[in-house]
Structures are given as C-alpha cells and as structure tokens.
Chain A
C-alpha cells in the first residue's frame, strides 16, 4: 500500500517536471510570474513613503501567489486544447495524481520566484 502511494507521488513529480520543462518559459508564465512582481514593486515603491523593507514580504507573497497559479492556468487549458491532456487521462494514474503533479509544478515555481525576489539581508 505504502509502495503504491510512493509510486503515485513519483508519477506526479514526473508530470510536474514535464510542466516546468515545457511551460516555464512560455510567454504568459513569464509575464504573470516575472513581470507582475516587478510591476507590483514599482507600484508600491514609486512616490510612496512606505518603507521598502516593510513592503517586500507582502510583495513576495503576492508574486508567489500569482506566479504559482500562472503555470497551471497555462498548462491545463493548453494541454486540453492540443489533446495531450487525454494522454495523461489514459495513463494508469488517478485524476488526483495528475492534479497533484500540476500543483507541484506551481509549488516549485512559487518557491523559485520567492527566493529570487527576496533580497539578501
């Protein structure tokens, strides 16, 4: 039983890996994941008296939130449109595993984003 569970997680990781490989550098992901934090940063820093050190944790959280969501918002509809989503469905994995894989891709992207935005202090 435990072994089956590990196998499921492994396959979810394979899906996440593939999603990162394919959709990481797609246009919408870059704009949402990378451009948005920069814009947010400008919005909150220019002409305001808010202390930057004070604003950064909030910015990072927001960027991670939107960025992590972006990769699924792209990969799911794209896969459904091109038909590759059906290939995932016909594989011997549960629907939950597929969604877990997609979520892991976002999770990974979110972490990378947070780390890259957090200034060393």
Chain B
C-alpha cells in the first residue's frame, strides 16, 4: 500500500512534560485514520508536529516522502489543516478568508474565484460570503475552516476535533462532509475524543493515552479484543441497591450501572440469564428489559486504556480561550 504519512519514534517534550512519546505510525493513501484519546493525550501535539506548527524533540516524520523537519514547505504543500481553535479571521468576511488561504497556498488567480465559490456553495456559506466571520455561529466557522483547508485540493486533510463543541446537527453535517471527502479520495487524519465518531468514520484507529500509542487497528478488530467478555444489560421496575446483589450472582464478573440499567459482565450468558430471572422472582422485581450486548468500541477503549468513558466526555471548551 502507498504510505502517505510515516512517523518514527516521534517525541515531544515541553520542559519536563512528555507530551508525545515515541509515536510510530503509517497512514496509507485514501485511508480514514482516527486518533482517539482523552484530552491531553497528545493528539493535537502530534498533528502540530506533522503540520509544521511545532518541531519534534526527536524522531522523524514524513508526508508524501517529504521530511517535515528538513523540508517543511514541500511537506505542507499537499496537506490541508483544520485546527481545533479558530483558523479564520473574525475581522474578515468569509470570502476574504477563503481567498487569503488560497493565496497562501499558491492557488492561481483564475482558479481561486471558481474554487472559492464552489466550496462556499458546497458548505452552505455562499449567501453569507460577504459577512464578517465574527458574526458566524461555531458550526459555520468550522465549516468555513474546512472549506479554507480544501481550497488547494490537498491530498491529505488533518482535522483536529472538528465536531467538539458543536450541536448535534452541525456535527452530523461535518461528519457527512468528512465521509464524502474521503470517498472522493482524500486521505483523512482525524483526532477525536468521541468514541462513537471514531467507530462510525474511521477505517483504522490509533488509541493514544498519555502520549503513547496503545494500539492501532480497525474498529471491528478492536472490538473483538474484548469479545471474551459478554454483557447482559438488564433493567428492573425498581432498582434500589441491587447492584451488589447482582454482583453475587453466579459467573458475574462485574456490574456497572448505566442510567436505570445494569450491565453485567459475564463469561457465559446462558449460565447467568436464568439466575437473573430467579433473582428477580425472589426479590419481587419485574424485569423491564433484558439484552445481551456485543462489545462496543467503548468497551474496547476502556479495556485497553483503563480509562473510564466519562473521561472522554469532558469537553475541552472550558480550557480554551474564550475567543477561540
């Protein structure tokens, strides 16, 4: 397969803090690659090193065979970057912003106008092209940032948490756009802390935590890693203090409460299911619903990183500058 991004032992120290630790990855042409990890895992630092924002402390990185340290300008010619903070100027109009990006990327004049129009139309911003970006909503801004990153028809698109802080509808719009771009042959490098998003979009996922890559694999293969454990999800008509009792049932390894449901991690569902009903009858409870679940990517993630999924749900917003 044709490798478009290759890093070897890429490492970044900020003083004493080790932000990225010996990251070695290979990304192939046309791939939808995901970088999944909690905040502070080193996702943005890795993107920053690949896109020329910051220099690695050690290690190497190549984009389309151009060394990002030795020959950064060449390496950057073929990439588009959508940063996690604002990459567009609030003071300028959408049209001026996208044109400025075109000029910096050396898009010839005759192509600039037609391509800018085409992209703004595609992203539903053409009607607002003469408005200052400062008046745009977050979702519109993010769309404009993606449009500006695509103006020079890059082969590789980096997106740093593009759906963070957006409402459901805008997020879905952006996910659809990413899928469409990938279908048209653009290699996508996405960072996210949404497990669901990585599962839906990515062909391969690298799970990163505290600067280290824990594993790189397809979502389905990651899920089979935890296949040995089965999950029974059950809810009762009332549910006071029964988690501990459920834990004592035969073959139950662990019980996790999720809303009004209990998740029982079991070795063999066929052995545990009868004892659940037996337990319900004995305790005068009614089983409202009962399901056996396939392991989700979330389960795989929790198993691999030892992190609770709630850690991932903490939004980055509060640590971003208000203007971002």
Contact = CB atoms under 8 A, between A and B. Distances in A.
A87 B160 CA distance: 13
Contacts of A81: 321, 323
A90 interface: yes
Interface string B229-263: 00000000000000000000000000000000000
B53 A90 contact: yes
Contact of B104 (A21, A82, A86, A93): A93
B104 A84 contact: no
A22 B148 CA distance: 18
A81 B321 CA distance: 8
Contacts of A87: 81, 83, 87-88, 101, 148
A79 to B, nearest CB: 9
The main secondary structure of chain B at its interface with chain A is: loop
A90 B76 contact: yes
A15 B52 CA distance: 18
B77 A14 contact: no
Interface in B86-132: 86-92, 96, 100-101, 103-106
A77 to B, nearest CB: 12
B53 A86 contact: yes
B87 A11 contact: no
Contacts of A22: 89, 91-92
Contact of B105 (A18, A92, A94): A92
A83 interface: yes
A37 to B, nearest CB: 25
Interface in A62-119: 81-84, 86-94
Given A21-B92, A90-B79, A94-B73, A82 B85 contact: yes
Interface in B253-301: none
Given A89-B52, A89-B53, A90-B51, A84 B77 contact: no
Contacts of A11: 103-104, 106
Interface string B64-84: 000000001110110101010
A84 B88 contact: yes
A39 B81 CA distance: 45
Given A18-B100, A83-B324, A93 B73 contact: yes
Given A11-B104, A90-B52, A91-B105, A84 B89 contact: yes
B288 to A, nearest CB: 48
Nearest to A101: B104
Nearest to A26: B91
Contacts of A94: 72-73
A82 B324 contact: yes
Contacts of B79: 90
Contact of B73 (A18, A21, A84, A92): A92
Given A90-B52, A93-B104, A83 B90 contact: no
A11 B90 CA distance: 21
B89 A83 contact: no
Contacts of A14: 100, 103-104
Interface of B: 48, 51-53, 72-74, 76-77, 79, 81, 83, 85-92, 96, 100-101, 103-106, 148, 321, 323-324
10 contacts: A14-B100, A14-B103, A21-B92, A86-B48, A86-B81, A87-B87, A87-B101, A89-B53, A91-B104, A93-B73
Q: Please provide the 3 A-B residue pairs with the shortest distance between their CB atoms, ordered closest to farther.
A: A83-B85, A92-B76, A87-B87
Interface of A: 7, 11, 14-15, 18, 21-22, 81-84, 86-94
Given A84-B87, A91-B104, 16 more contacts: A7-B106, A11-B104, A15-B104, A18-B89, A21-B91, A21-B96, A22-B91, A82-B85, A82-B323, A83-B324, A84-B89, A86-B53, A86-B85, A87-B101, A88-B104, A90-B83
